[in-house]
Amino acid sequence: MRILGIESSCDETAAGVVEDGARILSDRVASQLEIHARYGGVVPEVASRQHILSVIPVIKQAMAEAGATWRDLDGIAVTNGPGLAGSLLVGVNTAKAIALAHNLPLTGVNHLEGHIYANWLVESSLKPNFPLVCLIVSGGHSDLVLMKGHGDYTLLGRTRDDAAGEAFDKAARILGLGYPGGPVIQQAAETGTPSVPLPHAWLKGTNDFSFSGIKTALLRLAEGGKIASPADAAASFQEAVVEVLVTKAIAAAREYGVEQILVAGGVAANRRLRQRLLEESPLPVLIPPLRLCTDNAAMIAACGYFRFRAGKTDGLDLDVVPALKLA
């Protein structure tokens, strides 16, 4: 079964063809990173206009790279939330037009569910095995989710304020390191030592997260001119966030007696997070390769495959849901 995935929820226009939810035939991403970098964040109106320019060329490239014609496809999967309404609309309307023109079934995919399914695209002997706990860490979310089977999610915990990626982005701005925050903090941290004491919000007895305290502490230090080395501050910030994510993910996995920990979302690209989770978890940990952690459409196609298999198709009335929930 070959599925074309389309993703346009934020600032990447992406299309990819995936076979049987596991084999990537093509995976194209047109990034708007440079366009938004000068504003220090994603400008929604600019993003949706850019998606309109990119979506058809990116789909054409993905189809060509997969060597696929429309007849070779079995369905279209498209992100319909959560995300920016104007951005989501471009992907969803394009997907609907293709589904109608070529008489293909359509399914709307939750972007976070897509991130989780990036783990099904990994060529490794270690395959996802239910029940599992998934740590979803992106620019907009920090969730701990219990997954007992395909499409079966129970939200165990979430952030009460900033998402992990959002915290990285804000910390980078405070330290004057640029955008996007995750990669630049990680790079600065490589030459620093985590010597600056920063508060950890453990929120004991819950699986929730809070990252605004760490960010505010960093801001106070910066305002007081107390940051001698941005590299040390970056390393300290990264260590504090990673420490909380790793500890709480392992605790949740123990509490629910699961088989594995899955990690997903843009922050899963963080080298320190990957290293510490793999070292400290008593359970197998699955993390997609870097390219599949950040936004892409192969993960949307993979998720779409499992949705089609479960009979979850959508009609041409499929709409965007900017605040779509996973569970």
Binding residues (CB under 6 A) for ligand KG4: these are 10, 138-140, 165-166, 168-169, 180-183, 186, 265-267, 269-270, 294-295
Choice between 99 and 272, CB closer to ligand KG4: 272
Whole-angstrom distance, CA of residue 326 vs CA of residue 316: 22
* AA letter at 238: Q
Q: Is 80 in the site for Zn ion (CB under 5 A)?
A: no
Q: How far is the CB of 101 from ligand KG4 (least distance, A)?
A: 29
> Are the C-beta atoms of residues 184 and 231 closer than 8 Å to each other?
no
**Partner that binds at residue 288, options ligand KG4, Zn ion, none, CB closer than 5 to 8 Å by kind:** none
Whole-angstrom distance, CA of residue 232 vs CA of residue 219: 14
Tell me 314's DSSP state. B
Whole-angstrom distance, CA of residue 269 vs CA of residue 60: 28
**Partner that binds at residue 81, options Zn ion, ligand KG4, none, CB closer than 5 to 8 Å by kind:** none
Q: How far is the CB of 274 from ligand KG4 (least distance, A)?
A: 9
**Partner that binds at residue 192, options ligand KG4, Zn ion, none, CB closer than 5 to 8 Å by kind:** none
Query: Does the N-terminal peptide bond of residue 128 adopt cis geometry, omega within 30 degrees of 0?
Result: no
The tokens for 137 are: 């860490």
Choice between 18 and 185, CB closer to ligand KG4: 185
Choice between 80 and 138, CB closer to ligand KG4: 138
C-alpha separations of 105 from 4, 97, 98, 138, 223 in Å:
11, 11, 10, 29, 55
Backbone CA torsion sign across 90, 96, 101, 104:
positive
Choice between 162 and 239, CB closer to Zn ion: 162
Q: How far is the CB of 88 from Zn ion (least distance, A)?
A: 12
Choice between 50 and 105, CB closer to ligand KG4: 50
Choice between 169 and 295, CB closer to Zn ion: 295
Q: Is 12 in the site for Zn ion (CB under 5 A)?
A: no
Angle, CA of 209, 228 and 41, to the nearest 5° = 50
Q: Which of 295, 302, 303, 314 binds Zn ion (CB under 5 A)?
A: 295
Q: How far is the CB of 235 from ligand KG4 (least distance, A)?
A: 13
**Partner that binds at residue 183, options Zn ion, ligand KG4, none, CB closer than 5 to 8 Å by kind:** ligand KG4
Determine the size of the site formed for Zn ion (CB under 5 A): 2
Choice between 128 and 139, CB closer to ligand KG4: 139
> Are the C-beta atoms of residues 177 and 185 closer than 8 Å to each other?
yes
C-alpha separations of 40 from 35, 173, 176, 233 in Å:
10, 8, 11, 20
Letters for 117-146 (x = contact with Zn ion by CB under 5 A, - = none) are ---------------------x--------
Whole-angstrom distance, CA of residue 140 vs CA of residue 161: 10
Q: Is 94 in the site for Zn ion (CB under 5 A)?
A: no
Q: Per-residue DSSP letters for 195-223? A: -S-------TTSS-B--HHHHHHHHHHHH
At which residue do the structure tokens 């809070």 appear? 210
Q: Is 32 in the site for Zn ion (CB under 5 A)?
A: no
Q: How far is the CB of 138 from Zn ion (least distance, A)?
A: 4
69 — alpha (psi -120 to 50), left (phi > 0) or beta?
beta
Letters for 164-203 (x = contact with Zn ion by CB under 5 A, - = none) are ----------------------------------------
Q: How far is the CB of 267 from ligand KG4 (least distance, A)?
A: 4
Contacts with Zn ion by CB under 5 A lie at 138, 295
